[in-house]
Structure 1
Amino acid sequence: MIVRAFRGLRPRRDMIEKVAAKPYDVVTTEEARKEAQKNPYTFYKVTRPEINFDVEVDTHSDEVILKGKEVLEQFQKEGVMILEDKPAIYIYREEWQGYLQTGFYATFSTKEYAEGKIKKHELTRKDKEDERARHVKLMRAHTGPVFLMYRSRPEIDNLIMKHTTKEPEYDYTDDSGIHHTLWVVKDEKEINEIVDAFKDVEAFYIADGHHRAAAAARAAEELAKENPNHTGNEEYNFFLAVLFPHTQLNILDYNRVVKDLNNNTKEEFLKKVSEKFEVEETEKFKPSRKHEFAMYLEGKWYKLTAKAGIFNENDVVSSLDVAILQENLLKPILGIENPRTDKRINFVGGIKGIDELERLVDSGEYKVAFALYPTSIEDLLKVADEGKTMPPKSTWFEPKLKSGIIVHLM
């Protein structure tokens, strides 16, 4: 597999805490605007460029996206962000609530993505792909990294880890309690060691950022067609990502809340659920193993255990808990045919805890909530290796990757 060093654009050491921001898709425009009022250097001004305008604007317009590009250029001009003097690989560590993941920023081949060597486990939406590809082309930059993983190998993991004994460039804890450390590797021999270590690796896997990867590949294809002197070595042929060993990644539960019981009374609903699941009234709890679910309904918690025979144990997708819940409860009983588009269902990342499920149901906004056991990394790898896709909202990775730590300019 191809791993490529590049000249990253990154915040000056004393500006990293001001610039780095959460991914654009986990904050609202309003949240980003509030942050920008306190902090004029937030990267939301680049990734949420509508906040640079006083009034409501079309967030998808060229004018808005180009304003983000202008802010990025201004940050560079003012020395808030600096362009590396030579190609580098950036060793990166995130530490959060006892979890530690150490990988590195580099650029990766859009050609290998198109060939299926960078494997995915989710479907992407064409409209979202179109929007992100246009963003990449207009910005002439990858402003947010894709979250990649490789099957862990001790010799490669140790090669990455040896750089963490050096003096870091960044070392700080953000307001979410995530400790970030970054080391810059510019020595050509050391870079080649890392690049060569991955030459016989067969595949990389997308953990998070499917639309970013698809958009980068789409933009590369379009830019290649527009370039009569295209060689394949241009910056647009490579996208920004952080690559981690799979053994260090942490998937949290991704839970569901539903607005109504689909015209069932509570008694009718519980009776139908008991046809496919063992139902037991219980104290509040989090599922502790596969095929076990927690359900909150009208002030009471229930433990649901999938009955034998309701799914195919030999099929990796249908034996996922998200699929079991969808095919045996959400779809047939609650009438949720397509969880991607049905407005009656919503999804709650496990980082918010099961108290949030209780709160949402008690508020009256939702009628019933379901907590799931997290999907395993091994299941994700198996789904990707078999060329299959997971049901929507199957995985919630935490900690997530921030934007603005490293930018890849094209």
Structure 2
Amino acid sequence: MAKIIPFKAVRPTRDKVSLLAARSYDSYTAMQVESRLRDNPFSFLHIVNPGYKYQKEISGEERYGLVRNRYQEFKEDEIFIQDEKPSFYIYKIVNRDRLEFNGIVAAASVQDYAEDVIKKHEDTLEFREVIFKEYLKTVGFNAEAVLLTYPDNDELEAIIEEVMQSRAEYEFTTTYRDTHYLWNVDDEVLLKKIQQIYSEMPALYIADGHHRSASSYLLAKDLKEENPNHTGDEPYNYFMSYLIPESDLKIYEFNRLVKDLNGMTKEEFLIKLDEHFRIENRGMEYYKPSKLHHFSMYLDGEFYSLYLRKTKYEIKNALDALDTHILYVTVLKPLLGIEDLRNDQRIEYSHGKKDLAYVKTVVDSGTFAVGFGLVAVTSDELKQIADEGLKMPPKSTYIEPKLRSGVTVYEF
């Protein structure tokens, strides 16, 4: 049974939320970061990039300490204020594509994570888990929610819809034309009802944020060992999450781009591919696959459709049926010599929002030799992978919504 609880969020004042809210730091170019830091003194980027104040690149423990200092300064200047009562936060996003996401910001249990009530579908890198754990331990807060998903629930949807009939605490539109809304729910009867609904769910699924949730679990283990009066109710036993129903989840594919053909000519490569795929030359036609086990390929100025020969490929479990895994075990590893999908410098990824025109452009430029297009993973595939205790290859999914950092902050 899932344990989801309300918490006292630290939040920007209503007049500053649009200025403060920021995308994930890694999503900005260096030029974008510079302009926001220069022109907007309220941006959350000032907190996560504290060296800007001294015009110096700062990393490691020194940076962590300064991040905490900047955060405390925002609180001292009353840019951030903590809510007096534990609350759930109804959060709505309408993006530039007119897709709408409705969910609840809440605290999820690290124990549920450890016991697989909160299920995972991706592998994590231990060194990244440890680095982020140490960061959290020093700064004492988390400003980026883990995206969790659950089966659609009519009762919960009705509660969310009812709350959204009132005036939102926040309503702001970003320069990316996404509009964000937030409602504060602190009514005790409603809080208990929402908790009860989640407690009746046998499982929740991580959609995005595997490293953040893993790091929160490691942090809780450390702080428990350091606390002789540990009760299990301390804030470090939970991590901030954004919970949305499966039907709201939008999953895009990640296309694959490879820099060379591993010493083969085009003709040799096509002959090798023929073992596992029925190949059709589509010429200049933009071929985008629409079915599982169908792939597109752009090579030497032409598109190809690749249909998996099922008589040559055995499916024993959910991972075997996953297109990103199929491409890896039939093409990327045996033919193109790419074993480490995370670290091999010969492969790069572009999410499906960039579409096949981007794949064509970078291959035509000579930066890459070949590009592969895939069908997006479904939420059912994601859940089945997690239920079977399996892990997807890296960059199997690009998932929306993407929350802004700093709209709600969780302290521990």
Q: Given the two structures, how large is their TM-score scaled by the length of structure 1?
A: 0.96
Give the superposition deviation at 1:30: 5.4
Secondary structure, aligned partner of 2:305: strand
Please tell me the residue identity of whatever aligns with 1:224.
K
Q: How does 1:79-158 map to 2 (within 5 A)?
A: 79-96=78-95, 97-158=97-158
Secondary structure, aligned partner of 1:103: strand
Aligned residue in 2 for 1:44 = 45
Aligned residue in 2 for 1:390 = 392
Secondary structure, aligned partner of 2:357: helix
Please tell me the residue identity of whatever aligns with 2:136.
V
Q: Could you say if the C-alpha distance between residues 155 and 277 of structure 1 is closer, same or farther in structure 2, counting changes exceeding 3 Å?
A: same
Aligned residue in 1 for 2:4 = 3
Q: How does 1:316-327 map to 2 (within 5 A)?
A: 316-327=318-329
Give the superposition deviation at 1:134: 0.5
C-alpha distance in structure 1 between counterparts of 2:236 and 2:23, whole Å:
24
Secondary structure, aligned partner of 2:313: coil
C-alpha distance in structure 2 between counterparts of 1:330 and 1:39, whole Å:
44
Contact 1:52–1:67 (CA under 8 A) maintained in structure 2: no
Give the superposition deviation at 1:291: 1.2
Aligned residue in 2 for 1:259 = 259
Unaligned runs of 5+ in 2: none
C-alpha distance in structure 2 between counterparts of 1:51 and 1:375, whole Å:
40
Give the superposition deviation at 1:45: 2.2
Q: Could you say if the C-alpha distance between residues 354 and 68 of structure 1 is closer, same or farther in structure 2, counting changes exceeding 3 Å?
A: same
Q: Could you say if the C-alpha distance between residues 279 and 395 of structure 1 is closer, same or farther in structure 2, counting changes exceeding 3 Å?
A: same
RMSD over aligned Cα atoms: 1.5
Give the superposition deviation at 1:94: 1.4
Aligned residue in 2 for 1:333 = 335
C-alpha distance in structure 1 between counterparts of 2:373 and 2:46, whole Å:
35
Q: Which moved more, 1:148-157 or 1:364-373?
A: 148-157
Contact 1:146–1:242 (CA under 8 A) maintained in structure 2: yes
Unaligned runs of 5+ in 1: none
Please tell me the residue identity of whatever aligns with 2:333.
K
Give the superposition deviation at 1:292: 1.3
Q: Could you say if the C-alpha distance between residues 343 and 53 of structure 1 is closer, same or farther in structure 2, counting changes exceeding 3 Å?
A: farther
Give the superposition deviation at 1:221: 0.8
Give the superposition deviation at 1:378: 0.3
Q: Could you say if the C-alpha distance between residues 276 and 22 of structure 1 is closer, same or farther in structure 2, counting changes exceeding 3 Å?
A: same
Aligned residue in 1 for 2:61 = 62
Please tell me the residue identity of whatever aligns with 1:201.
M
Q: How does 1:194-343 map to 2 (within 5 A)?
A: 194-282=194-282, 283-343=285-345
Give the superposition deviation at 1:10: 1.1
Give CA-to-partner distance per residue, 1:213-234, whole Å, 9 cap, x none: 0000101110111111111111
C-alpha distance in structure 2 between counterparts of 1:158 and 1:150, whole Å:
15
Give CA-to-partner distance per residue, 1:253-280, whole Å, 9 cap, x none: 1111001000001111111112211111
Q: Could you say if the C-alpha distance between residues 51 and 214 of structure 1 is closer, same or farther in structure 2, counting changes exceeding 3 Å?
A: farther
Aligned residue in 1 for 2:354 = 352
Q: How does 1:178-189 map to 2 (within 5 A)?
A: 178-189=178-189
Aligned residue in 2 for 1:159 = 159
Give the superposition deviation at 1:53: 4.1
Please tell me the residue identity of whatever aligns with 2:65.
L
C-alpha distance in structure 2 between counterparts of 1:250 and 1:174, whole Å:
20
Aligned residue in 2 for 1:15 = 16
Contact 1:316–1:383 (CA under 8 A) maintained in structure 2: yes
Contact 2:121–2:391 (CA under 8 A) maintained in structure 1: yes
Secondary structure, aligned partner of 1:364: coil
Please tell me the residue identity of whatever aligns with 1:357.
V
Give the superposition deviation at 1:52: 4.2
Identity rate of aligned residues, in percent? Answer: 37
Secondary structure, aligned partner of 1:116: coil
Secondary structure, aligned partner of 1:242: strand
Give CA-to-partner distance per residue, 1:296-320, whole Å, 9 cap, x none: 1122111111112343345210111
